[in-house]
Structure 1
Amino acid sequence: MDKVQADRLILQYQTRIFGFAMSKLRSYTEAEELAADIVSEVYRSFLTAEQITNPDGYVYRIACNVYARLIRQLTHVSTVDISDMVLPCHDDTQEHLEQNETIQQLRREICFLSDRQRTIVYLHYYKKKTAAEIAATLGISPGTVKWHLSDARTTLKEDLVMTQQTTDLTVNPIRFTSTGHNGSAGTTGDTQDMFDTRLKQNIAWCCYFTPHTVEEIARALNVPSVYIADNVQELEEYGYLDRIDKSKNPKFRTNMVIYDDRIPDKTQSLCLEAAKKLCDDLYPAIFHAFDHAEDNWGFACDDNDKNFMKYTLVMLCTRYLFDHGDFQKWQKFYQTYSVKRPDGGDFIAHANVSDDCHMTIEPSEFTNPYDKYPYVICGYMQRYDTNSDMLNEQVNCRFADRLVDWRDNCSEDWESLYRYIKNQNNKSVLTPEEYKRLCDKGYLADDNVQVMTYVCNEKPTWNHIIQLLHTKCHVPESIRSFSKAFDAKKYAMQKEHHPKHIQPIIHQYCTEALGNAEIIPYVIEEMLHRGMLQPLTAVQKKAVFSILIYQK
C-alpha cells in the first residue's frame, strides 16, 4: 500500500482506535498510550501490506493483538504473577480477554497505587525500563525503585484478595442533601461552594469515621488515586480534612459535622414534645405580658401588629432565653473547633448526607425544600456594621417567604434600610436599585418599614435585647428542668452516629438545645395549631423573623 493511501486510512481509523482503547482501559491517559501503540502498529502494517480486503477486521485484529500484548505484560493467562509481567505476545481473542476478570481487577488496583508507585510500575512493566533507568528518570536511587516495585507487588497481591467485596461507596455513593456552616464564610464561600462535586462529598464521608490514606480512599470509591489526591489536597488546604500523621503516605480524617439522613431522625419527636411543653409552660405568660404592654416592649413594625411581632419574639426568646450560657466557655469551644480557612473563612462546617437509594426525588426536582424538609432552617444570621450603629438578626424557615440560604441576607440591604429609617423614611437617600431591592425583599411595602425594629439610646449591642427579655420574660423551673433533660436525650440520640473527634461538637450543639434555631418551626407550628398565633399575610412573610436594632 502506498503512503498516501496509508495516511488516508490511518486518519479514518484514529478516532475508532481511541474508542477501542477507552473501552478497554477507561483511564484517559492509559487509553491514549494504548491508542498510540495501536496506531503505530496499524500504520506500519498498512505500509507493508500489498492489499487489504477487509480493513475493519484487519485494524480490529491488530488492536486486539496490541491490547493482548499489554495485558500479557501484566499477567499470565491463568495466574497473576507481577514479577513475570514481561512475556512474549500471545494471540488471545478479544472475548477471552474481556472474560478475564482477574486481569481487569489487576488493572484497577494499579490505578489505586500512590503516584510514585504507579509511575514506577508503569515505567517498569509497561515501558520495560530497568531499575537504573527509572532511578535516573525520577531522580531517586535504584534501591528505592526496587523497594517500590517489591512493595507494589505485595500490595497488589493483597488487594486482589481484599477487594473481592465491593464497598458500598463504589456502587452506592452518597450525596450531600444540604450544607452549611457555623461562623463566618470566606471570600470563596462555605461548605456548599467547596463540595461542588459528588467525588469531594464521598471523600469526606469515606474519612468521617475512619482515617484513610489517599490509596485507601481511591479503592473505597473505585477512582484512580491521582484524581483523589488532587481533591484531598484542596479539602485539606481549606480545613475540611486533617492530615493526622506525618508519614509519606498519611491518613486523612474529615473535620466537619455530617448528619446521615438515612438514619431515622428520632430528635423530631423530641422537638415536637418540646414545642408542646414550651406552649404549655412558657409562652402563654410571655404572650399575655406582651399583649398588655402598651409600648410593645420597645419593639415596632408597620401598624404595630402584635401577631406579626410575636413570630419574631419567638425567635428572640429562643435565641436569648436559653442560649445564654457561659460566653467564655462558648468562645473557648468555638476557637477549638472552628477552622480558619485560607480565604478568611472561620467556621465549623456541616452537611447532611443521603444516597440514590434513599433519595426518592432529585434535589432539582422540587422547587420548595420545605416540601421535603418541613423543619429545615437557616438560623441566627447576624449582620452588623461597626460604623453604622445598627445590628440585625434573621432566621429563615417555612413560615417565612425566603430561601433556606444565608447568601441573600446581605449586610448592604440592612445598611440601606437603616439609612432609610434614619432619614425619616426618605427614599431619596437610596439609589433606585437599593429602593427596589428593599421592596422586592419585602423589607419595605408602600414606603413603610415591615421588619420589626428596636431603638436604643446608645450604641446597640445584643445585651440590650438579652436584658430586655430577661426582665420581661420569666422562665419557670419546669422549663429549666425540661431543658436539661432535653439536652441529655438529644445528645444520647445523636452521639452514636458521629465519630469520637466530632462528638464534642455534637455535645456542645446539644447544650441548652432549646435555644437552637431548629426548635423555632416546631414551636410556630404548635402555636398555629393552638391558635396562639394567626397566619401571616404574604407581605408579612417576607419580613418576619427579622429585627433591626439601631441607635436613636
Structure 2
Amino acid sequence: MEQKEKQTTESPRTYAERIIAAYMKQIYRFALNRTESMQDAEDIAQEICLKIFKALSSGRELYSEGSFVWKIARKVLANYYRGRSRSYIGINIDEVSDLTAYGDISPEEAVIANETVARLQDEIAYLSKTQRRVIALYYYTGKKVSEIATILNVPEGTVKWHLSDAKNKLLKGMETVRTTKELKFNPIKFDLIGMSGSSGTMGVAGNFFRGILSQNIAYCILREAKTINEISGELGVSPVYVESEVEFLDEYGLLTKKNGKYLVNFLLDESDSVCSALMDEIYETASEILVPELFDRLNQIISKEDINIYYPENDSNFLMWSILLYTLANNGEEDTAISFNDVAVIRPDGGCNIVYASIVEEVDSKPKYYENLKKWCGPMWNATEKLTLWQIDSEWSEENRTDLDTYQRFIKRDMKLLENFTEGNRLSEDEYAFLAQKGYIRKSGSGFELSVVWLKDNDAKRRLLEAGNDAREVHKEVLTQLKEKYRKYVLSNTPAHLKKMQQFSLQHMFAADGWFLLFAVKTLLRDGRLKLPTQQQKKSLSMLILTNTVI
C-alpha cells in the first residue's frame, strides 16, 4: 500500500517540497502529453503539485512515492477531462484510437475517453453521407487515401479534402452544445391521415409515414424550414436516421427542399379547443338549415314516376343514403379559383393527391364526431366512358368494404364488369361472384340484379343537382357567412407555404367535404328522416352508378 507511514527526520513541509522537486519535470511532461496546450499543461501540473503538497504537509510519508504521485496526477487529469468533456474543445480525431487504447491510463481516464469517443461518434453522424463514409473507411477500417479514392471512384485529392473538411466540422461540432427541444421527450403522433385524389402503388396516405419518427420530422418543419442536422437536434435523434426518413418523404413529395432546408408539403392540422368549437358550431348550423331542406326536395323528386332511377326493392330510405350524399357533394362549390391540379402532388408511385393529417393533443380539443370520421372515407369516384361509380364508406356501411391499398389497382376491373352487367351482357360465374362479393349485385331468383342505386340517365342527375342548388339558394347568405368565418380562422393558422393548398380544400366546404357529409347523416338520423340500413344493405350502402350519356 502506498500510504503507509514511515519514520523520517525531515519536516513535513521539507519532505513535500523534495518530492515535488523530484517529480516536477515528469509531472509536467505527463500533463503536456495529455492536453492541447502548454498553458493547460502548466495549470494541471500546478494543480497536481498543490494536491501532493497538501497531502504530504500533514506529516504522512509513503513507502511508494511514485505510485502516490501518479495516483494524484491521474485524478487531477480525470477531473480536467470531465470538465473538457462538456465542451469537447480541441479534440483531435487522429488521437481517438489512442484514447481507446488505454495502456497505463487509470479507470477514471478510461471513462472520460469513452465519453469523448461516444461524443465524437455522435458528431460523425452530423456529417454528409460521403464524409461519413470517408471517415469510416479511413479511421475505422484503416483504408489508405488511394484505396478510398478507388472505392468511391473519386480523385485522391477529393478524399483528402473530405477528410480535412470533416475534421473541421467535427471540431466545430465538438465545441457546440447541442440542445434538444420538447419533441425529444414529448413526441407528437398523427391521429387522422388521409388524402384527396388518387392513390398510387404505395396505397393509403398513412403508408408514407413509416413510424413515429417520420411524423415528428414533419411536425418540426411545419412552420419553419430546417436542415437535417437542425431536425436531428430538435428531435434528439442521430442525423443518420433522420436523413433516410427525410429523403423518403422528399422523394414522395411530402416535403419540399430549398437551399438544403426542408418544409412540409401536405396539410397538417393542429386541432385546438377554439378551432374545434368553431367547427362544431358552423357545421352543425349549416347542416341543420340545409340538409332537411334538401331531404324534403329529393323526396318530392323520387315520388314522381318519371324519374329514371333504379334502387333495390323501391326502398326510399336506402336510396336516400346514396342520392342525398351524392347531391350534397356535387354542388355548392361556387368558388373554384384554385384547381386540384394547381395544388395536388404527382408522386413517383403514380398517385396524384393532396395528403392531410391531424394532431389532437387533448381529448377536449377534438371536434364533434371526430371518432366517427375515422371510419369515413369518401366521396370516392371513378369513371369510364360509359359509367361513373361513386361511393362513401362509413361506420354504417360494411366494415372494411374497400381495400384502399389496392383500390386504384383493381377498380378498372370493377368498372368493366359493371359496364357489361348494366348492358345485359352475360358474365362468367366467377365474375358474378366477384361483383356480388363487392356489393354491386345480389342474387335474385334465377339470376342477379343490381344492389346499388343507378342513375340511368343525365336527366336524373340534373334533377338531383338542381334540387341541391335550389336548397342552397334558400340559405345562401347564411351559408356564405358561416364559410367565411371558418375560412378566415383556418387560414390565419395555416403556414404561408401551405395557404394555397388549404384554400383549395376550403373551396369544398359544405360540398365534397367529408366532415359536412358526416354532420348531414348525423342530423338526419337524429331527426328520424333517415333510418339505419339493414345488415344486408350495409354491403351496398351509399354507393351508386351513373350512366354517362351525352345530351
> TM-score when scaled to structure 2?
0.70
Q: CA deviation at 1:133?
A: 10
Q: 1:155 to 1:544 in 2, by over 3 A?
A: same
RMSD of aligned residue pairs (Cα, Å): 3.8
Q: 1:292 to 1:464 in 2, by over 3 A?
A: closer
Q: CA deviation at 1:501?
A: 0.9
Residue of structure 1 equivalent to 2:280: 268
Whole-Å separation in 2 of the counterparts to 1:205 and 1:527: 37
Residue of structure 2 equivalent to 1:146: 164
- Does structure 2 retain, via aligned residues, the 8 Å contact 1:215–1:225? yes
Alignment of 1:56-455 (within 5 A): 76-79=81-84, 80-84=88-92, 86=95, 90=102, 91-93=105-107, 97=111, 105=119, 107-119=121-133, 139=155, 140-141=157-158, 142=160, 145-158=163-176, 161-163=177-179, 166-245=180-259, 250-260=260-270, 265-266=276-277, 267-279=279-291, 282-283=293-294, 285-290=296-301, 292-295=303-306, 297-323=307-333, 325-326=335-336, 329-331=337-339, 334-353=340-359, 373-376=371-374, 377-386=376-385, 389-403=386-400, 406-407=404-405, 410-423=411-424, 429-447=426-444, 448-455=449-456
Whole-Å separation in 1 of the counterparts to 2:223 and 2:525: 41
What's the secondary structure of 1:436's corresponding residue? Answer: helix
Whole-Å separation in 1 of the counterparts to 2:282 and 2:116: 52
Whole-Å separation in 1 of the counterparts to 2:106 and 2:265: 50
Q: CA deviation at 1:378?
A: 1.3
Residue of structure 1 equivalent to 2:41: none
Q: For this pair of structures, how many residues does the alignment match?
A: 444
User: What 5-or-longer segments of structure 2 have no aligned partner?
Assistant: 1-76
> TM-score when scaled to structure 1?
0.70
Q: CA deviation at 1:254?
A: 1.7
Q: 1:143 to 1:92 in 2, by over 3 A?
A: same
What's the secondary structure of 2:189's corresponding residue? Answer: strand
AA aligned opposite 1:422: E
AA aligned opposite 2:234: A
Residue of structure 1 equivalent to 2:530: 533
AA aligned opposite 2:395: R
Q: 1:101 to 1:479 in 2, by over 3 A?
A: farther
Q: 1:533 to 1:354 in 2, by over 3 A?
A: closer
What's the secondary structure of 1:322's corresponding residue? Answer: coil
What's the secondary structure of 1:78's corresponding residue? Answer: helix
Whole-Å separation in 2 of the counterparts to 1:208 and 1:233: 16
AA aligned opposite 1:352: S
User: What 5-or-longer segments of structure 1 have no aligned partner?
Assistant: 1-71, 360-369
Greater Rg by CA: 2
- Does structure 1 retain, via aligned residues, the 8 Å contact 2:441–2:451? yes
Q: CA deviation at 1:222?
A: 3.0
Q: CA deviation at 1:285?
A: 4.1
Which deviates further from its counterpart, 223-232 or 511-520?
Answer: 223-232
What's the secondary structure of 1:538's corresponding residue? Answer: coil
Q: 1:120 to 1:149 in 2, by over 3 A?
A: farther
Residue of structure 1 equivalent to 2:515: 518
Please list the CA deviations of residues 84-110 of structure 1 after superposition, one character each: whole Å capped at 9, or x if unmatched: 452565534389839987775554343
Whole-Å separation in 2 of the counterparts to 1:135 and 1:417: 62
What's the secondary structure of 1:307's corresponding residue? Answer: helix
AA aligned opposite 2:305: E
Please list the CA deviations of residues 429-481 of structure 1 after superposition, one character each: whole Å capped at 9, or x if unmatched: 2333332232233322333312110112xxx6xx9735652167613545211
